[in-house]
Structure 1
């Protein structure tokens, strides 16, 4: 039976569930993540996710409309975790930037297997690519705002565009970690992170 023909009613959102329902939904999410990381997005099936969660086919569709639906939720959770690190406001700009880089590394390291699937799906799914772009833009806007504030305070170079600087630094850090943690490119951890920090600090001309 085609997976798309099973579900006839909208999936229940977390806010409408009982405590038991939320627990079951969370177990389906956890199982889905394991399946995606084990076999990839293309080979993942609702049947495999239901089996991994120990629930029936119908129970899956009580909470999610499709494997795409559950993947989108996992990705939203992932992006929120990846971009939630916020160092103390008492830190200097240089310290804040380095702390943000290292928090992102730790989050990437914890989630490298799922990040590999995220990058895969973004190459062929336009809707998911838009979701990925939306989260990137949120991070870019937050970083650009901080850079602009540092420029006004005379702490960063006034000759760079805050938005372009935020985008290019994010791309540099993201791709470097992807090559290292996902593609398996050899690197010394401390040397790599120190180099990323130096590149970012130098690019902004932080004093």
Structure 2
């Protein structure tokens, strides 16, 4: 493995564990196992490494989702394929994904352009597919809203354990429901609402209804020596 690759892999681990602001060059060196002189031969600073990671991973996202878009056969299948490609991309980033999102969504970061390129490219591609399929163009804000939802749902992927196919499928169903319900024509059926993950869990038995023979909860006890009026 080349030193550049070692640094990038080590940096991804360090940034994912510590966050962008708390990561130092020393942390990257420790994770990558390279010397300081070697690091500075290839990168100017930790910012340079992080920008390289951002550009590399966002380019990968574009490639994956474009491939999903052009290889699927019909509109709904394309939609599902793009959503799954996005989720698998985020799952593959692990903890680094959240750090990249945080930095590229910050209005004060120069890295915001990486995310904007991805968003604009995907929006333009999807608009093109809709028009080619005979659908009217929709307000671009709809796409922006959906991508915000997709990023938030992807943020819920667990990173304290291995991500499973169930994790991906659950989030795919949620996002597919959201976007298809938004973009579907009047005569198209949308996917059913995804059920709660625990819908098959055994339910607690219902409490038995009171027969009226027992004293009401909170009622004062009968006075001493009192007898019941019922015979």
Aligned residue pair count? 178
Counterparts in 2 of 1:36 and 1:90: CA distance versus 1, 3 Å = closer
- Max radius of gyration: which structure? 2
Does residue 75 of structure 1 match 2:58?
no
The one of 78, 82, 89 equivalent to 1:96 is: 78
* Alignment pair present for 1:175 and 2:155: no
Residues 137 and 56 of structure 1, relative CA distance in 2, 3 Å threshold: closer
| Aligned-residue offset at 1:197 | 0.5
- CA contact under 8 A between 2:103 and 2:111: conserved in structure 1? no
Compared with structure 1, are the counterparts of its residues 76 and 43 closer, same or farther at alpha carbon in structure 2 (3 Å cutoff)? Answer: same
Assess, with a 3 A threshold, how the Cα gap between structure 1 residues 136 and 24 changes in structure 2: closer, same or farther: same
TM-score for both structures, normalised by structure 2: 0.66
Unaligned runs of 5+ in 2: 189-231
Name the structure with the higher helix share: 1
Q: Distance in 2 between matches of 1:201 and 1:99?
A: 13
CA RMSD for the aligned pairs? 2.8
Quote how far apart the aligned CAs of 1:119 are: 3.2
Report which stretch shifted further, 132-141 or 112-121. Answer: 132-141
1:46 aligns with 2:25: yes
Shift of 1:59: 1.3
Structure 1 partner of 2:133: 153
> 2:159, 2:83 → 1: CA distance?
17
CA distance in structure 1 between the partners assigned to 2:61 and 2:95 by the alignment: 13
Equivalent position SS for 2:4: helix
Of 137-146 and 164-173, the range deviating more from structure 2 = 137-146
TM-score by length of 1: 0.73
Between 1 and 2, higher relative CO (CA 8 Å, sep ≥ 6) is seen in: 1
1:64 CA displacement: 0.4
Write the deviation string for residues 128-165 of structure 1: whole angstroms up to 9, x where unpaired.
x34334433443333333324423532x3x2622x323
Give matches, 1:115-126, under 5 Å. Answer: 115-122=97-104, 126=108
